[in-house]
Amino acid sequence: MNDSYSKPLITTIIPTYRRPKLLRRAIRSVLNQTYPHFQVCIYDNASGDETAEVVAELAKKDSRLKYYCHQENIGMTKNFNFGLAKVNTPFFSFLSDDDILLPNFYEVALKGFDKYPEAMFSATQTIIVNPQGQIVGYNKFFSQNLGLYLPYKGFLTMLKNYLITWTGILFRREVIEKVGLLDEEVVVGSDADFEYRIAAHFPFFVSSKAGAICQAKPEGAYSQIKTRDTWRDYLRIIKKLTENEEFPFPIRFEIKKFLMAKLKNDLFNISCRSFLKKDYEDSYNGAEILLNHYHSRGRVFFLKSVIKICKHFPPFHKVFFNLNKFRKFLIQKKLKPLEKKYRNISSFLEIQ
């Protein structure tokens, strides 16, 4: 790498709440980086358990760890922003306490900046695994052409295809000054909103190499995501982007088209997830939004039909539940080539 990038300091922000064992693993994954010039800042959302002891034990052996504990739980997004506002290094990344970095993440991401100094973030592939260490997904943006993406092409590619999981992204600190912190009024998808605001205005680099592992959340972790929350947050994101007169009108039109398509897909998917959890009220709410605002009659017919069937004949819910399990099985079969490519990925999950 060039001299200007030989020893830049990186901040890894780890917000945490009551997951000390997983937090230990996350911290260890940062300490195992091949690039050594970093600090790990842990922001404890008033866990009230052994989290502080876990961090203190690791900090005795490594002074690069910094710890702050809030007096009360301030909420997830505010905790992210608390850490984000304190970044004072040239680069930073986000790491959830149940995810991990692969050993070469910093090194690979910094090489991207070295090659393309104009990039505002450098992204690596993120592999999605279940708690058993099996690969259940990957970031599909990386099936596109890799390299440098310029505005507006990069942003529209992200909208048209897939958001880049920020676990595998290294950001320049300048993005905080240019686009601000996370939008605390966006309950669902504040990470997407943050990336969209950056990609809409600035170049970014996408590497072919894997840099992070994201653990898939159990179904119960999504219980707080409701269709109306998703709808409200999408409308806020769409409004901010499409009313920005810095974008030419054709670009704003494309932004709205892609985001509206994603909104309808997400509303349908969350409605289906709610149905599978027997939260028929939320599933029905999603169907009503799709019908009254987006005229998605086929999807609405499906949702209302399955809700009605299962309410009158409860055993049928098991049928739909098993069909969904079979769908996941077929997806898993398609991921077999990926499992071979990253066959040693599970070993990183065993960091103690």
Which DSSP string corresponds to 305-350? HHHHHHHHSTTHHHHHHHHHHHHHHHHHHHTHHHHHHTTTHHHHTT
The predicted pLDDT at position 352 comes to 52
Q: Are strands 91-94 and 10-16 parallel, antiparallel or unpaired?
A: parallel
In the chain, where the domains are located = 3-216, 221-326
Give 201-211 pLDDT, tens digit per residue.
999 999 989 99
Third-level CATH fold of 3-216:
Spore Coat Polysaccharide Biosynthesis Protein SpsA; Chain A (3.90.550)
Q: Are strands 91-94 and 169-172 parallel, antiparallel or unpaired?
A: antiparallel
Residue 303 in 3-state DSSP?
Answer: helix
* CA nearest to 19, candidates 56, 44, 1: 44
> Burial, 79: exposed, middle or buried (Cβ in 10 Å; 0-12, 13-18, 19+)?
buried
Alpha-carbon distances, residue 5 vs 43, 64, 84, 90, 273 (angstroms): 27, 19, 22, 10, 45
- What's the pTM? 0.90
Report phi then psi at 67, rounded to 5.
Answer: -130, 135
The predicted pLDDT at position 5 comes to 45
Residue 175 in 3-state DSSP?
Answer: helix
Q: Is the CB of residue 95 less than 8 Å from the CB of residue 68?
A: no
Give the single-character DSSP code of 181. Answer: S
* CA nearest to 113, candidates 14, 34, 203: 203
Name the stretches of the chain with pLDDT < 50.
1-5, 220-223
Q: Is the CB of residue 271 less than 8 Å from the CB of residue 231?
A: no
Give 111-164 pLDDT, tens digit per residue.
999 999 999 999 999 999 887 778 888 888 888 788 999 988 899 999 887 889
Question: Is the C-alpha dihedral spanning 42, 44, 47, 52 positive or negative?
Answer: positive
Distance CA 90, CA 172 (A): 6
- The H or E element that residue 223 is part of is none
The predicted pLDDT at position 269 comes to 94
- Number of other residues whose CB lies within 10 A of the CB of residue 264: 18
Measured in whole angstroms, the distance separating CA 52 from the mean position of its chain's CA atoms is: 26
